Structure 1
């Protein structure tokens, strides 16, 4: 199969603390399609990466100076936290320090808040300490180097980078 793309990123949440099976699934898809690819596999759910920055959560809901505790897991425990999407939703509600109509709006706009947090995610910020994010950065760097150098390379987790 010939593809018009030099590099494909395929996102799949691990849905567990063990990203190995999901990485194997994604890499198998790359091999079958015969495309150069980088697996984007957050441990648990993508929202886990968004739990790393309390200030960003406060900013996105419009309460940058808020003081209410958000109930976020410690950085070293984020990838072990179950249901990061629900944790993030509760953190947005807590950060809003709202009630009534404004609280309903914060709950309704959760998808927008999540999207904004993803757009603003600082790759050099706290998320850079999470192993799944470190793997993404390393695989992306390796893949880009392989594309630029015109060679095939296999990444640490089995990702196939071909040009």
Structure 2
């Protein structure tokens, strides 16, 4: 992934980001992966948005990454990992995590994940305040450790991602 932080002032629309990324990588790119949450507009609308934006660039092959709500919905399925990342693997506090069939329907998975991480840490006072500021780092750790063959593999948005990747790889 290109270090976008080196390109201050690049608009956050897909076309601008892809063009900036291609410049940054000196057009030595084999595949562009574009992440856009489906949110309330749906997966098909996001696919069309991505295709339209990439049609205006010199991007080579591309693959959409479109979680049904937010990427965080994929991270709500592994209670053990959430407890580990929160720094309290033996904790017993209720985390309020959804069942597998509910994960893609959670209204605000990012906020639920934030709450679950804080609950899992079971910290109080200043430590809880400090733990609350670690959300982005913890989310990154959860993504890096995501069990691709675990419960997430049963979600429709994950299955679509694998189909898209397979289509490009073959």
Which structure has more relative contact order (CA 8 Å, sep 6+)? It is 1
Q: Is structure 2 residue 55 aligned with structure 1 residue 31?
A: yes
Q: Given the alignment of the two structures, is residue 90 of structure 1 paired with residue 109 of structure 2, yes or no?
A: no
Distance 1:43 1:69 in 2: 25
Which whole-Å CA distance do the structure 2 matches of 1:8 and 1:17 have between them? 22
Which blocks of at least 5 consecutive residues in structure 1 are unaligned?
A: 146-163
One of 31, 34, 58 as aligned partner of 1:10: 34
The change in CA–CA distance for 1:100 and 1:115 in structure 2 (over 3 A counts) is same
Moved >4 Å (runs of 4+): none
Instruction: Please report the TM-score for the alignment, with normalisation by the length of structure 1.
Output: 0.82
Q: Which residue of 2 aligns with 1:64?
A: 89
* Native 8 Å contact 1:17 1:43 kept in 2: no
CA RMSD, Structure 1 to Structure 2 (Å): 1.8
> What is the TM-score when the length of structure 2 is the normalising length?
0.79
- In 1, the alpha carbon distance for the partners of 2:109 and 2:130 equals 21
Stretches of structure 2 that go unaligned for 5 or more consecutive residues are 1-21
Q: How many residues align?
A: 145
Q: Is the 8 A contact 1:8 1:36 kept in 2?
A: yes
Counterpart Cα distance in 2 of 1:105 and 1:64? 18
2:104 pairs with 1:73: no
Distance in 2 of aligned mates of 1:8 and 1:131: 22
CA distance in structure 2 between the aligned counterparts of 1:25 and 1:36, rounded to whole angstroms: 16
Match of 2:71 among 35, 46, 51: 46
Aligned mates of 1:122, 1:26 — CA distance in 2 = 27
